[in-house]
Amino acid sequence: MMPPLSPPDWRDRIAGREVVVSVSGGKDSTAVCLALEAAGVPCRAVTMDTGWEAAETYEYLHGPWADRFGAPKVLRVGEPLPAGYEAAVLAIEAALGHESDMVRVCVRKGMLPSRLRRWCTDVLKVGPIRRYPQAVPGAVNAIGVRADESRSRADAEAWEPAPWNESVAVWRPLLRWTEADVIAAHADAGMAPNPLYLRGARRVGCWPCVMARKGEIAHIATRDPGRVRALAMLEELVTRVRMDRSGDARPAGWFQNPRPRRDADGRLYPGEGACWPIDRVVAWATTSDQLDLYGELFGDDAACMRWGLCQRAEAP
């Protein structure tokens, strides 16, 4: 049986209002849809396409996920090609296999997102969903956020007015669920998760995210070298854009230096700048003698055994 949804009076709160679920292709937003399906609550699913997702996520959303719930409505920023850099952007998009708002916004800004400046979420995900419910007066935007994911999410409210429009409510129905609850919801409903989880991923989203762990970077480098090449092209292009606009010759990097060395006065040694190019990050990530980038490594415990989908041979 699924755990209760938050807050306890959620049915009264959504009565007569359209529920719009923000879907990423990840386990938590899928669990929201499974819970609402089990409760007999109709909803409309929307997905914010950043143009930087993994191929498996696109295939999952428009394959097994759509087979269960119907195809989600795709929301995008719709960023135009940046003037003067059209050919270079199109070359990166050709490497990705699709148009990418992420690439186009990075070039327009002359800046990559970073661990400290994560503008990507606000521009590419929050922006489109902010605009969408405004066309549905009184809509409820349900999102798959759990309190046990982080300190900031532990302080979240299950229900609150949307900061961009008080007529829209932000609803976090799974706020008190655990990860085990989410996995059990998939199993009980017979719903396969995004295959990235079965390959060891802890989360599904940008591919890679600026917050990716060491193990996740190594995973991408091994399984999707084409994405590493596209990222290298993007780093080179944004470096060129900054040089053209301001004469700033510092190389742009998707990841910050995980182990910068400083002298006695706290100054960085030459070559130990804030960012590393993706090729150097990959070389670092595929070693086994250094700490993870921003947290624990993910490994076999996060793969099919974690989901109860691994069939082990019985001991003789």
The C-alpha atoms of residue 281 and residue 128 are separated, in whole angstroms, by: 31
* Residues of the chain falling short of pLDDT 70: 134-135, 258-260, 268-273, 288-316
d(CA 258, CA 260): 6
Which has the closest alpha carbon to 79: 91, 93, 95?
93
- Fill in the DSSP letter of residue 48: E
Give tens-digit pLDDT for 190-215: 999 999 988 878 788 899 999 888 88
Q: CA neighbours within 13 Å on the CB side: how many for 277?
A: 15
Nearest residue to 112 via CA among 232, 270, 261: 232
The confidence score (pLDDT) of residue 155 equals: 87
Rounded to 5 degrees, φ, ψ at 215 are -65, -35
Mapping DSSP to helix (H, G, I), strand (E, B) and coil, where does residue 22 land? strand
DSSP-assigned beta bridge partners for residue 73: 46
Q: What is the CA radius of gyration of the chain?
A: 21
Q: What is the pLDDT of residue 284?
A: 87
Query: Alpha-carbon distance 61 to 67, whole Å?
Result: 9
Domains of the chain: 14-302 (3.40.50.620)
Strands 255-256 and 140-142: unpaired
User: For residues 198 and 304, is the Cβ–Cβ distance under 8 A?
Assistant: yes
Please tell me the predicted confidence (pLDDT) of residue 83.
Answer: 96
pLDDT score, position 75? 95
Q: Can you give the pLDDT at residue 117?
A: 84
Diameter over CA atoms, the chain: 69
pLDDT at 189: 96
Return the pLDDT at 137.
Answer: 75
Question: pLDDT digits over 75-94, tens only?
Answer: 999 999 999 999 999 999 99
